[in-house]
Amino acid sequence: MTLLQQIIANLKTALPDFDNTSQTDPLIKIADSLAPILQNNLDEQTNTQNIIQNIINTQNYGKSQWYVNTALAYQYGIPLIVNSLYQNVYAVVPPIDPTILIIKQAAFGYNTLSTGIQQLYLKIAMLDPITKKLKKVADTDPDYPNCFTDFSNYFLATAIMPGVPVSIVTFDPNLISFGYNNFTIVYQSYYTLAGANGLIAQITAAIDNFRNSFPFNGIFYTYGNYGLANYIINNVEGVIDVVLESPVIDGLSFDFKTTLSAGYFDFGSNVPDIETPASSATGIYAAINNVDNYITG
């Protein structure tokens, strides 16, 4: 039933002579005028409720995104202040200084232990200022001494209610490699390999971008819409195929996908670096057979 029909039905209940045409015509016109206005107000109210509920579902205290946001708001070396407005005792000191926001990635979740108990964890990583790669958050870090202990104290004080066990973990990157001649890129042979704009430089940049833009705590795929092979094909002109064989993560083989215990990864290699690609011409196509050499480090 539309809002206009509801208004007319209510008028019939309230006014016994509503069926009299001479009396109802003006009222119907009034109802017809009011219905769009009332409907618009109802729609706005519903939309506002949906927006608020979405914020509550994704960012409020006790939700995983709330914990992630709190972790990313950590400012290295800044003391906490008392904040009695929230369930937690401490709060982040405003204003936030972007130069000391050292936690660049975070994921909040739980693991089910062998005993059946679910254990909460926060997984974090920071950015190396020189290599621009993610790295482990460690007290021995030369740029941010005692950062892991300082962050842990911050997070447990601001985000976790007393008595709730949460493990804060950080790891060196998982290393993914394919070995000699197991990472092959097929390209159109009239494209130049060497030089600043050559295929080698473009392929290297694409692989770096794939790694650096990889969603934290995501799943690594060799093929498919989110896989490394498709990413290279879609982002490097002249590349027509990518063959990835015998993938390995931290020394263990996997099929076409693998989880990342560290939350992020880097590329490793099973062969020494060389300067010239071992390429082979096959008609109008050629292949680079040892791509691992160009993505190490």
Convert the pLDDT of each residue in 209-266 to its tens digit: 999 999 999 999 999 999 999 999 999 998 888 888 888 999 899 989 999 999 999 9
Domain tally for the chain? 3
Is the domain of 204 the same as that of 125?
no
pTM, full prediction: 0.68
Domain boundary among 149, 169, 189: 169
Cβ neighbours of 283 (radius 10 Å): 6
Question: What is the CA angle 180-186-187, rounded to 5?
Answer: 135
Choose between 279 and 237: higher pLDDT.
237
Q: State which amino acid sits at residue 38.
A: L
Distance of CA 72 to the CA centre of its chain: 13
Is the domain of 261 the same as that of 160?
no
Question: What is the CA angle 140-144-146, rounded to 5?
Answer: 55
| Helices 199-212/228-235 angle, 10° precision | 130
Dist. CA 222–CA 209, nearest whole Å = 15
Is the domain of 18 the same as that of 75?
no
Task: Please check the confidence at residue 292 and state whether its pLDDT lies above 90.
Answer: no
Is the domain of 50 the same as that of 80?
no
Domain boundary among 137, 169, 201: 169
Dist. CA 220–CA 86, nearest whole Å = 38
Is the domain of 264 the same as that of 279?
yes
Query: Could you list the residue range(s) of the whole structural domain that residue 285 is in?
Result: 174-294
**DSSP structural state of residue 17:** T
Is the domain of 200 the same as that of 278?
yes
